[in-house]
Amino acid sequence: MFDLPAYDGHEKVTMVEDAETGLKAIIAVHSTAMGPAAGGCRLWSYDSDSAALVDALRLSKGMSYKNAMADLPMGGGKAVICGPVAPENRVRLFEAFGRAVDGLGGQYITAEDVGVSVADMEIIATQTRFVSGLAGSEGKSGGDPSPFTARGVRVGIESAVKAAMGRSDLDGVKVAVQGLGHVGMYLCEELASRGAQLVVADIHAGRVAEAQVRFGATAVHVDDILMQEVDIVAPCALGGAITENVAGHMRARIVAGAANNQLLTPEAGRILARRGILYAPDYVINAGGIIMVAGEISGNNAEAEVLAAVDRIGGRLDDIFTRAQSGEALTFEIADLMAQSKIRAARKLKAA
Ligand code: NAI
């Protein structure tokens, strides 16, 4: 593991295997410099155990950067569970996962990610208190973080549209949304209600049909969605969508979406920049969900305050875009440097 490019001095990586339930999981704690490592739990069928490890390493580092950039008192961590999971085994498996999280004594706090629901979090909560994303109550945010993520992405898209197109509204702006899952569908709702025109794709035909009916979206094949002649491409499926080839040929002016680790390589980001395509750093624009989760963890989760905190994503991106346009560095480089410097400062403070 120590030789993997995805390894970045992670504080702790725990391999979990539970023979009784068949649970195989990896919990990666990248950094606790700013607070307990918080980040979702992903359930995915990986091609290999090493692919799962690389995913956990990359995603947990991304969470450190995301939490730092959102000014949250939390470090970065992530868990991956190797699927598939038989439905009849789900409860026992998430109980076993909850015990593993509990065993870390609060170093890691879990929440939802791809493939995992509020109901799974409620099961985990029977075994540990180090869990969030539980159902909210009247006037308090909680539960599924994805509407908050989608709102943050919409605010970020508005910021990108201002920077790249000199416009302060989304009326008639064309957006290609890749992936109509939890976040993608809420994002379509946010965008359509502001007059944006949507082009969509998902591997599940039912999700596509829903977006067509609800938002008048145009459906295209999953292989074509990133190449649409639109203003914005919003990757909301899995990571690595922006390959060097995609970056070199895509026709949008802006890449701004919810997926983690959108750039397959830094070179893909450099190609976007060379072609004048504005890239909104993923972990800055998609922080809405973790901002909600942080409110839930701290108990400061009055909905109005959480929404105001999510909306501050726009200002952060305005700043990054302005600095990039002045030639300081590329957008994702600026975000990395800012996040690294915040984490370094917190580490120093902790050590003092
Ligand atoms: P989800 O699993 O609900 O949705 C993903 C959707 O993408 C599914 O509908 C799936 O069918 C579709 N999909 C998969 N491969 C595809 C392809 N090649 N082309 C088109 N569609 C494809 O996941 P969720 O929660 O909506 O998350 C989406 C992305 O946003 C993930 O990368 C996740 O890590 C990231 N994210 C999610 C947050 C949240 O609050 N749920 C927070 C921050 C990031």
SS (H, E, C) the chain: CCCCCCCCCCCEEEEEEECCCCEEEEEEEEECCCCCEECCEEEECCCCHHHHHHHHHHHHHHHHHHHHHCCCCCEEEEEEEECCCCHHHHHHHHHHHHHHHHHCCCCEEECECCCCCHHHHHHHCCCCCCECCCCCCCCECCCCCHHHHHHHHHHHHHHHHHHHHCCCCCCCCEEEEECCCHHHHHHHHHHHCCCCEEEEECCCHHHHHHHHHHHCCEECCCCCHHHCCCCEEEECCCCCCECHHHHHHCCCCEECCCCCCCECCHHHHHHHHHCCCEECCHHHHCCHHHHHHHHHHHCCCEHHHHHHHHHCHHHHHHHHHHHHHCCCCCHHHHHHHHHHHHHHHHHHHHHC
Ligand 1 touching residue 178 (CB < 6 A): yes
pLDDT of residue 135 exceeding 90, the answer is no
Binning pLDDT at 50, 70 and 90, where does residue 93 land? very high
- Average pLDDT of the chain, as a whole number: 96
Residue identifier of the C-alpha nearest atom 20 of ligand 1: 202
The question of whether 24 is a catalytic residue gets the answer no
Token digits of residue 262: 């959108």
Kindly state the average pLDDT of the residues 142-168.
95
Centre of ligand 1 from the C-alpha of residue 350, in Å: 35
**pLDDT for the residue 138:** 76
Residues 6+ apart with CB under 8 A from 262: 235, 239, 240, 241, 242, 255, 279, 282
Centre of ligand 1 from the C-alpha of residue 344, in Å: 31
pLDDT of residue 139 exceeding 90, the answer is no
Ligand 1 touching residue 149 (CB < 6 A): yes
**pLDDT for the residue 343:** 95
pLDDT of residue 140 exceeding 90, the answer is no
Rounded CA-CA distance 44/351 in Å is 37
**pLDDT for the residue 270:** 98
**pLDDT for the residue 268:** 98
**pLDDT for the residue 352:** 85
Centre of ligand 1 from the C-alpha of residue 238, in Å: 6
pLDDT of residue 142 exceeding 90, the answer is no
pLDDT of residue 137 exceeding 90, the answer is no
Binning pLDDT at 50, 70 and 90, where does residue 143 land? confident
pTM for the model stands at: 0.94
**pLDDT for the residue 136:** 75
Q: Which of 61, 78, 174, 342 is catalytic?
A: 78
**pLDDT for the residue 117:** 92
Ligand 1 touching residue 180 (CB < 6 A): yes
Ligand 1 touching residue 132 (CB < 6 A): no
Ligand 1 touching residue 204 (CB < 6 A): yes
Instruction: Give percent of the chain with pLDDT exceeding 90.
Output: 92
* Residue 266, number of CB atoms within 10 A of its CB: 12
Kindly state the average pLDDT of the residues 186-191.
98
pLDDT of residue 253 exceeding 80, the answer is yes
**pLDDT for the residue 1:** 92
Binning pLDDT at 50, 70 and 90, where does residue 287 land? very high
Centre of ligand 1 from the C-alpha of residue 328, in Å: 32
Kindly state the average pLDDT of the residues 273-294.
97
Buried b (16+ CB within 10 A) or exposed e, 155-164: bbbbbbbbbb
**pLDDT for the residue 333:** 98
Using most ligand atoms within 8 A of CB, pick from 113, 118, 187, 261 the residue to mutate for ligand 1: 113
Among 76-85, 110-119, 179-188, 313-322, the minimum mean pLDDT is found in 110-119
Per the DSSP assignment, residues forming a β-bridge with 198 are 175
Ligand 1 touching residue 118 (CB < 6 A): no
Binning pLDDT at 50, 70 and 90, where does residue 154 land? very high
